[in-house]
Structure 1
């Protein structure tokens, strides 16, 4: 499998349903202004190497570090008058690599030019563990899941309930896509903002040469990104907070599918899986395709069924307003005219 350089936060396989030609889609800024030529979803909704594991990250395991530092496997590293012991310490001190001395096995000092070339190789190392995990476990299975959802949901001609199917996988997709968007989960974003209000981490700028992130330039961005990558990896290994959230959804909740029955279709956005407020409740919501939207609700009766609700253009437009309000910067629509979608 070839390594992807551009990593989508919102999966391209998911976005494809809103494309009118190939991977081209009608796109609008969250304020309503249209992108004149639309967007190609292959090159939007992501960053280069967003999910890659890089040198300096705090939670890398021994196998990660051995791959990142493989160019130095036969060298001795001296820093501040002593030898650095082990890959973990190399990783912790790499930020001050300009003050390292590299020593060949024969005891000779590595020339500065050669040393810098080795450092550059380490800086460029990007392990695709998470990106490949997303692809294998989730993204490559989305199209099959979408076909099954549409086959089971669109065939119904009135409001009804049907037996549950693929509940675990659907819940994991809803939860993980919510965490993968730039907003991530609301409570995590709120906690980071509260911390930043106290210690102003966003005001601590990282020197450009030391910033290996594909975006951002401050300490808050680094902390946020590293934590998310740690939890993405945990999720793929079926542990951590994202996985536990999904397990709670599976255990306590069920799904309602809303089907657009008129001319109006659902839009989607760069934050497609979000939690909307409904009176005193928080309702996880995600458009599945232009004709289907899903919500997660508490399953008090434990009937083992999903609800199907067929809705008219008025309700679809109401949902589209909610999707727009929860977007970050961009929405996609099958229609070249947002007014048709009620916006």
Structure 2
């Protein structure tokens, strides 16, 4: 993993929860896949066009941007948010007390209307200037996480995927192959899991402990006005702060600590990776929530990640752990169908095919 640089930034405002480079593994022509809505029961490729550009799937504006007002911010972040104050030479007071510390400014930003803001001549600024300043502060987006994700995982994924697939194809019939790109595969897989899945119970518990400690339960249950929303897809202060808490976990990941990093290390050091190859003529699907964890018919926990239509990765208990090899298993069509059914059921809104037919994928 590259050393995190807090000065990294990205010009991209369109953030994919599942990377475009990953979804292209299912393209049937340039960046085009077949996308099926989870709620759709009658699927007929002869009367409906299911084609969709990967650039437009699972994309939310500024989803991984950090903005002013979140509880989980560094001094460096807050200094960037409130740079307009220094630019204009403004001073902030609340209840007659001057606020200098940028983190304190951030934590009280939800009470912006109560701020008294003075210019260099110690005169209160006008209402219009105060609103203009608020817009300036809210317009600051810190996108170092999106750039860190790009540099560490997204930009290199096509090479990682192709190298693994090439190694598999060179060793058809073997029981195992060298575990090339293992660290990158695990990191990509786990980080996508955290980007797309609903908050885990551990995540919820940690967040709720912080909320209770700060006495914010009542505030966080309130709905946010459209004017004050950090993100258009979020409706309550609790959802907003949960989202920002998740971003803080990604910040920890790229600084090689925290729960995402620990999960990557746990799988890397304590699990075996089995690459699953479908029977000829059959393929894996993927979805907007591609890492699928479920209980199989033997009541065993399965952890599956589709890599391409021709290959999926299964995380297995290591006893012993063999970090030098991937184990190879060819699945018959019924086994492929069973995995695809689980991947389909695991999706949030839709699943993805390469061919314009269900027959290679599902019963």
Same fold, TM-score > 0.5, yes or no = yes
Q: Quick check: 1:175 aligned with 2:172?
A: no
Question: For residues 347 and 65 of structure 2, what CA distance do their matches in structure 1 show?
Answer: 25
Q: Which residue of structure 1 lines up, in the alignment, with residue 235 of structure 2?
A: 217
Shift of 1:201: 8.9
Question: For residues 32 and 174 of structure 1, what CA distance do their matches in structure 2 show?
Answer: 27
Quick one: which of 333, 337, 345 aligns to 1:317?
337
SS state at 2:159 partner: helix
Write the deviation string for residues 54-73 of structure 1: whole angstroms up to 9, x where unpaired.
Answer: 00011211111111111111
Q: Which residue of structure 2 lines up, in the alignment, with residue 285 of structure 1?
A: 304
Q: How many residues align?
A: 341
Q: Quick check: 1:333 aligned with 2:348?
A: no
**Mapped contact 1:320–1:342 kept (Cα < 8 A):** yes
Q: Which residue of structure 1 lines up, in the alignment, with residue 262 of structure 2?
A: 244
Q: Which residue of structure 2 lines up, in the alignment, with residue 20 of structure 1?
A: 28
Question: For residues 218 and 82 of structure 2, what CA distance do their matches in structure 1 show?
Answer: 33
Shift of 1:11: 1.1
Q: Which residue of structure 2 lines up, in the alignment, with residue 118 of structure 1?
A: 133
Quick one: which of 160, 164, 180 aligns to 1:145?
160
Q: Quick check: 1:81 aligned with 2:127?
A: no
Question: For residues 176 and 243 of structure 1, what CA distance do their matches in structure 2 show?
Answer: 9
Distance verdict in 2 for CA 1:184–1:19, change over 3 Å: farther
Q: Quick check: 1:129 aligned with 2:148?
A: no
Q: Which residue of structure 1 lines up, in the alignment, with residue 84 of structure 2?
A: 71
- Counterpart mapping for 1:32-111 below 5 A: 32-33=40-41, 36-73=49-86, 74-111=89-126
Write the deviation string for residues 194-215 of structure 1: whole angstroms up to 9, x where unpaired.
Answer: x99xx79986322222221231
After superposition, the CA RMSD in angstroms is 2.5
Write the deviation string for residues 260-293 of structure 1: whole angstroms up to 9, x where unpaired.
Answer: 2311211100110121223343222100011100
SS state at 1:25 partner: strand
Distance verdict in 2 for CA 1:156–1:261, change over 3 Å: farther
**Mapped contact 2:26–2:309 kept (Cα < 8 A):** yes
Shift of 1:85: 2.7
SS state at 2:156 partner: helix
Q: Which moved more, 1:24-33 or 1:329-338?
A: 24-33
Shift of 1:240: 0.2
Q: Quick check: 1:300 aligned with 2:319?
A: yes
SS state at 2:295 partner: strand
Question: For residues 28 and 102 of structure 2, what CA distance do their matches in structure 1 show?
Answer: 49
SS state at 2:22 partner: helix
Shift of 1:189: 6.2
Q: Which residue of structure 1 lines up, in the alignment, with residue 274 of structure 2?
A: 256
Q: Which residue of structure 2 lines up, in the alignment, with residue 227 of structure 1?
A: 245
**Mapped contact 2:287–2:344 kept (Cα < 8 A):** yes
Q: TM-score, normalised by structure 2?
A: 0.87
Distance verdict in 2 for CA 1:2–1:187, change over 3 Å: closer
**Mapped contact 2:71–2:241 kept (Cα < 8 A):** no
Question: For residues 270 and 200 of structure 1, what CA distance do their matches in structure 2 show?
Answer: 33
Dislocated runs of 4+, deviation >4 Å = 184-187, 189-193, 199-203
Distance verdict in 2 for CA 1:53–1:2, change over 3 Å: closer
Question: For residues 208 and 9 of structure 1, what CA distance do their matches in structure 2 show?
Answer: 23
Q: TM-score, normalised by structure 1?
A: 0.91
Q: Quick check: 1:274 aligned with 2:292?
A: yes
Consecutive unaligned residues in structure 2, runs of 5 or more: 1-8, 212-216
